Amino acid sequence: MSDESPPRRALLAAEHRRLDDLFGRFLAAGTPAEAAEAIRAFDEALRSHTAFEDEHLFSTRRGDKLASKENESDRERLFRELALEHVQIRELSGMMTRLLGEKGDLAGARALAGNLVRRWDAHTAREEEALGSGA
């Protein structure tokens, strides 16, 4: 483990909690318009955050395949899996954003929220643990 890991992990955890707060605004929204604005803000922040992680933390290059590679190291496998989870989480967030933005469908967006929360919570815990272990 490097001396850089704890500060990097703390910064990442703080950014994850900021995204949690943004998603909480969606959950607390009382109207479709409020929910649409909240999920749009979350979706934009999520896309920026995951792009940064993919490029700077996991060295994932745009266009890289997310399928497993022969003789893949444990570290490469972990980073590939985390990048794949980013795709899945962004897709759910995008679906919710479209449901609200195009149809004003608050019930439909909220129906997807549990799936996004479960994936996001498991993903962020895994990422923060990986950084804490020096991966």
Q: What are the tens digits of pLDDT across the range 15-73?
A: 999 999 999 999 999 999 999 999 999 999 999 999 999 888 876 555 566 667 788 88
What average pLDDT score do residues 123-131 get?
92
More confident residue, 37 or 11: 37
Class of the CATH-defined domain 5-132: mainly alpha
Residues in CB range of 33: below 8 A, 6 or more apart = 104
Domains of the chain, by residue range, sit at: 5-132
Residue entry with tokens 């950084």:
131
* Distance linking the first and last C-alpha atoms of the chain: 8
Give 67-121 pLDDT, tens digit per residue. Answer: 677 888 888 889 889 999 999 999 999 999 999 999 999 999 999 999 999 999 9
Q: And the tokens for 60?
A: 């994932």
